[in-house]
Amino acid sequence: MSKEKEKEGGSETFIRRFHAFSVLVLIGVIGFFVYSNTVNEEAKYPFKLGLDLAGGSHLVYEADVSKIAPEEVGDLMNVLRDVIERRVNIFGVSEPIVQVESSSFVSDERVERLVVELPGVTDVSEAVKEIGKTPLLEFRLVDEIALANSYATTTATGTVPLPEDPFIDTGLTGRYLASAALEFAGGNGGQLSNEPIVSIVFNAEGAALFETITRDHTGQSLAIFLDGEMISSPRINEAIVGGRAIISGGFTPEEARELAKNLNFGALPVPIELASTQTVGASLGEEVLQKGMQAGVFGLSLVILFMVLWYRLPGLVAGVSLLGYVAVMLALFKLIPVTLTAAGLAGFVLSLGMAVDANVLVFERMKEEYRSGQKSNEAARVGFARAWSAIRDGNVTSILSAILLFWFGTSLVKGFALVFGLGVVVSMLSALLVTRTLLLALPESQIDKSTLLSKLYNSGLIVKK
Amino acid sequence: MPFIQHRKIFLGIAVVVVLAAVGIIAALGLPLGIDFTGGALTEVAYEQLPEKAYVETSLDTQGLGQYSLRETKDEAGRDGFILRTRDLTEEERIRVSGVLTDASTGGEITRFTSIGPVIGEELKDKALWAIVGVSLIIILYVAFAFAGVSYPVGSWMYGGITILALLHDVLVPTAVMALLGYFAGMEADVLFVMALLAVLGYSVNDTIVVFDRVRENLMKHRHEKKTKVVGTDGLEREEITYKLQKPFAEIVGEAVSQTLMRSINTSLTTLAALSALYFFGGEVTRTFTLVLIAGVLAGTYSSICIANPLLVFVAERKAAKETEAK
């Protein structure tokens, strides 16, 4: 070999080692980021723990959207979410989650749900009561003829033919409410002196709707329903401009004050019903978390130990690459953020065992080349090239599955799919970038050299002479 | 290669295993948890465990209908009970919690879950769809990825065989779940579905790796022959026929032995992680872990002893038919 070539080879080795060094530093930096954001109580990126790990309550409400035009359901559910969120914020829970969950296309009936997660709240009755206070306010026109008919039939014949519902939905509900206030009706002619009433103001959209309804139906009655009960049904005397209305229904001052307060927090646009509850005590969650982490540490150590024992030097590299995988995954959990649950944690521990698969594939191909006499670096290169199609096809199916699961799973399955999908992508990258870079930076050897280094590139538990 | 040479034995074992699994599932039934059936689960822990009979007498007055009360230890090692009932209303929950916590000193409700029947029913649908959907994606992708090697076995066959192997890999852990339910009182919850999905992912990966080697070896050991053929419409087409330099069974056998070490090692690292989870992880994920262990074992068996022998089997059937036709 000429001197120049040697020099070139030398600088190439230097570049490779520099790359390897950079990769190690990068892993270190990511690891430090995860570490400092975990031990520090006021970290900017803490782990987001699910209710089963942090303790808390998980409530699922089912919304009755049967009377709502399908194209409006989405909007209404968002209004509902905002209202309940405001309500939940009253009891000072840190980071409550309120989200809409639509049953996906797989079920015949469209069911809209509201999921309320209250970390740290283990007294679920308090929460249920508080949310239950959110009033449902509806305005319905009274169909006088149907109303008269239903009375007539009952009185005249004694049999009750299914009376038509005399109340017609107007679409005007609590969702258009801007504010509510307690007032006392001025003594009108001295007769209705000081009756407590609740005056409400609609927002612009609601005011316009109110005006249209009152203009088109002057002379009819507009009934006001609170939580499904008719409170009053005043007659519309003229079109009402300005979006103000009054709810009067023989309230005591206390009741009226309470109603005004609750309406101000928002009124339900659709009726809701509690469908499922889940509470996990904080101490239990803590215990599950501890054990999950313990399992993770043991799992990681076992996998690395196995890799080092079987694949020796490349196995050690795979171990470093696996540590990189863990660091990147944990950093992603913090940054995205991914809500960690017991299931997610278990899935992550499982992924530790599967993440080295790409490494194993490469090392096996590399071993074939190495044993046939190739130099270790060349064997590694060929190993990566040959293993690529298997790595690609195996991982693409996994990624496609994860996307499908994420697309139509429930929130719990979504979390699992996210961890699973991220795990596949990150493990593939860690094998292709970290393992490859580090492996190529190692000093070269060949099988027929009977040095220690030469044996370190071989695999198996027994060192053959 | 013994796996290919004695393929009838290995395939026979697989058939027996699958039949046994189906039998177990049919006989014992899958112990569906409240995630699917709806119902309520209350876990309570005490400083001092009260008499079970005493707690049952107080529960009997609550009008819960059929319920089951089982002794358990919580994650911190405290004694307690798991109470399974129909789904409870808010009022019932408060009453039942009261009865349980008052039964002895230091009573504390550590976990409560109540799920309406509709949600459970819907989850069942979703779980089924998820499994079917994932299988479909796999068959399509595998057929696409192996489109280049449709001789001597069509590329759709690779996808189809992958699905057959998957069926085996899903049935085995499901049967294990049925056994766990029957003998240890464990229940299949959402985690069980996730375990099955993880098994699907693992097993496909495993099968694809071996098939990939078959694909590579096929390309290496085949002759390509192009002939010009004039079609019925008078247009000239190029037709490519392949000839293998080695028997197909031998090519597949080589692929299996070349990937054997990898199959074993990857299942060992996965089992290592799972056993850490079993021994050190929480009570909540124990069922999940056992189901996965069964799945990984089944997945490794199927990729070595089912998928590839089947591939050879299909090829031979096809060859036999072709000679018959001639």
Q: Is A341 a member of any domain?
A: yes
- Report chain A residues whose CB lies below 8 A from the CB of B284: 52, 288, 342
Q: Do A378 and A345 fall within a single domain?
A: yes
* The two three-digit tokens of residue B53, written as one number: 């009979």
- Report chain A residues whose CB lies below 8 A from the CB of B213: 390
B301–A contact, CB cutoff 8 A: no
Q: Is A461 a member of any domain?
A: no
Q: Is A3 a member of any domain?
A: no
Q: Do A129 and A144 fall within a single domain?
A: no
Residue A273 is predicted with a pLDDT of 84
Residue A108 is predicted with a pLDDT of 55
Residue A297 predicted with pLDDT over 70 = yes
Which of A205, A229, A264 terminates a domain? The answer is A264
- Report chain B residues whose CB lies below 8 A from the CB of A352: 273
* The two three-digit tokens of residue A268, written as one number: 């339900």
Confidence of residue A408 (pLDDT cuts 50, 70, 90): low
Please name the residue of chain A whose CA is at the shortest distance from the CA of residue B210. Answer: A390
Q: How many domains does chain A have?
A: 3
Which of A105, A134, A163 terminates a domain? The answer is A134
Q: What is the mean pLDDT of chain A?
A: 81
Angstrom distance (rounded) from CA B284 to CA A343: 8
User: What residues contact residue A156 under an 8 Å CB cut-off, 6+ apart?
Assistant: none
Q: Is A41 a member of any domain?
A: yes
- Report chain B residues whose CB lies below 8 A from the CB of A413: 126, 130, 190, 193-194
CATH number of the domain within which A307 lies: 1.20.1640.10
Q: Cβ distance A112 to A95 under 8 Å?
A: no
Q: Is A4 a member of any domain?
A: no
Q: Is A10 a member of any domain?
A: no
What's the distance, CA A111 to chain centroid? 18
Note if the bond before A271 is cis, omega within 30 degrees: no
User: Average pLDDT in the A376-395 region?
Assistant: 90
Q: Do A192 and A259 fall within a single domain?
A: yes
Angstrom distance (rounded) from CA A315 to CA A455: 13
* Residue to substitute from A393, A404, A410, A413, interface B, most B β-carbons within 10 A: A393
- Domains along the sequence of chain B with CATH: 2-33+118-325 (1.20.1640.10), 39-115 (3.30.70.3220)
Helix (H, G, I), strand (E, B) or coil at B18: helix
Confidence of residue A145 (pLDDT cuts 50, 70, 90): low
More confident: A231 or B41: B41
With CA atoms as reference, report the closest residue to B301 among B11, B16, B22: B11
Angstrom distance (rounded) from CA B207 to CA B142: 10
* The two three-digit tokens of residue B51, written as one number: 């008499």
Question: pLDDT below 70 — which residues of chain B?
Answer: 1
Angstrom distance (rounded) from CA A98 to CA A104: 18
Phi, psi of B150, deg, nearest 5: -90, 10
Q: Do A333 and A365 fall within a single domain?
A: yes
* The two three-digit tokens of residue A31, written as one number: 């690891």
Q: Would you tell me how many other CB atoms lie within 10 Å of the CB of residue A165? A: 12
Residue B7 is predicted with a pLDDT of 84
Among the ranges given (A249-263, A427-441, B201-215, B243-257), the one the predictor scored with the smallest mean pLDDT:
A249-263
CA distances from B121 to A26, A105, A219, A337 (A): 48, 14, 48, 30
Please name the residue of chain A whose CA is at the shortest distance from the CA of residue B34. Answer: A276
Minimal CA separation from A324 to chain B, in Å: 17
Which of A211, A233, A264 terminates a domain? The answer is A264
Among the ranges given (A149-163, A200-214, B112-126), the one the predictor scored with the smallest mean pLDDT:
A149-163
Residue A151 predicted with pLDDT over 70 = no
Q: Is A121 a member of any domain?
A: yes
- Report chain B residues whose CB lies below 8 A from the CB of A390: 208-209, 212-213
The answer to whether the CB atoms of B145 and A354 lie below 8 A apart is no
Q: What is the pLDDT of residues B65-79, one digit of tens each?
A: 888 888 887 777 788
CA distances from A106 to A31, A409, B123, B127, B140 (A): 42, 10, 10, 10, 21
Q: What is the pLDDT of residues A184-203, one digit of tens each?
A: 876 554 455 677 888 888 88
The DSSP code sequence of B85-114 is ES---HHHHHHHHHHHHHTSTT-EEEEEEE
Residue A91 predicted with pLDDT over 70 = no
Angstrom distance (rounded) from CA B250 to CA B254: 6
- Report chain A residues whose CB lies below 8 A from the CB of B202: 354
CATH number of the domain within which A153 lies: 3.30.1360.200
User: Average pLDDT in the A329-345 region?
Assistant: 88
Q: Do A307 and A448 fall within a single domain?
A: yes
More confident: A368 or A285: A368
Q: Do A127 and A141 fall within a single domain?
A: no
Residue B295 is predicted with a pLDDT of 95
Number of alpha carbons in the 13 Å side-chain half-sphere of residue A301: 9
Q: How many CB pairs under 8 A join A and B?
A: 241
Residue A443 predicted with pLDDT over 70 = yes
pTM for the full predicted model: 0.80
Q: Would you tell me how many other CB atoms lie within 10 Å of the CB of residue A431? A: 26
Residue A131 is predicted with a pLDDT of 81
The answer to whether the CB atoms of B204 and A397 lie below 8 A apart is yes
Residue A1 is predicted with a pLDDT of 44
Q: What angle do CA B103, B109, B113 make, to 5 degrees?
A: 125
Q: Do A246 and A155 fall within a single domain?
A: yes
B252–A contact, CB cutoff 8 A: no
Q: Do A101 and A141 fall within a single domain?
A: no
For residue A202, the one-letter residue type is F
Q: What is the pLDDT of residues A99-108, one digit of tens each?
A: 888 765 445 5
- Report chain B residues whose CB lies below 8 A from the CB of A400: 137-138, 141
Residue A204 is predicted with a pLDDT of 86
- Report chain A residues whose CB lies below 8 A from the CB of B266: 353-354, 356-357, 360
Residue A299 predicted with pLDDT over 70 = yes
What's the distance, CA A175 to chain centroid? 25
Q: Is A272 a member of any domain?
A: no
User: Average pLDDT in the A139-143 region?
Assistant: 81
* The two three-digit tokens of residue A362, written as one number: 């490469």
Pairing of strands A339-340, A48-49: parallel
Angstrom distance (rounded) from CA A399 to CA A64: 36
Structure ipTM: 0.86
Angstrom distance (rounded) from CA A292 to CA A349: 8
The answer to whether the CB atoms of B282 and A287 lie below 8 A apart is yes
CATH number of the domain within which A110 lies: 3.30.300
CB-closest option in B75, B114, B258 to A284: B75
Residue A465 predicted with pLDDT over 50 = no
With CA atoms as reference, report the closest residue to B302 among B216, B179, B173, B188: B173
Angstrom distance (rounded) from CA A458 to CA A414: 42
Note if the bond before A253 is cis, omega within 30 degrees: no
**Highest mean pLDDT: which range of A318-322, A333-337, B191-195, B228-232:** A318-322
Among the ranges given (A33-37, A400-404, B177-181, B231-235), the one the predictor scored with the smallest mean pLDDT:
B231-235
Q: Do A39 and A62 fall within a single domain?
A: no
Phi, psi of B54, deg, nearest 5: -65, -45
Residue B1 is predicted with a pLDDT of 63
User: Average pLDDT in the A10-28 region?
Assistant: 89
User: Average pLDDT in the A445-450 region?
Assistant: 77
Q: Do A305 and A203 fall within a single domain?
A: no
Residue A141 is predicted with a pLDDT of 83
Q: Do A171 and A68 fall within a single domain?
A: no
* The two three-digit tokens of residue B241, written as one number: 């026929």
The answer to whether the CB atoms of A310 and B265 lie below 8 A apart is yes
Helix (H, G, I), strand (E, B) or coil at A157: coil
H or E segment to which residue B239 belongs: strand B236-244
The answer to whether the CB atoms of A401 and B197 lie below 8 A apart is yes
H-only helix segments in A123-199: 124-132, 144-156
Q: What is the pLDDT of residues A411-426, one digit of tens each?
A: 667 777 888 889 999 9
* Residue to substitute from A405, A424, A428, A461, interface B, most B β-carbons within 10 A: A405
* The two three-digit tokens of residue A192, written as one number: 């209705």
Angstrom distance (rounded) from CA A5 to CA A8: 5
Domain span at A305: 15-49+281-456
With CA atoms as reference, report the closest residue to A30 among A228, A321, A224: A321
Number of alpha carbons in the 13 Å side-chain half-sphere of residue B131: 22
Residue A8 is predicted with a pLDDT of 59
Residue A59 is predicted with a pLDDT of 87
Q: Do A338 and A290 fall within a single domain?
A: yes
Residue A416 is predicted with a pLDDT of 79
Confidence of residue A146 (pLDDT cuts 50, 70, 90): low
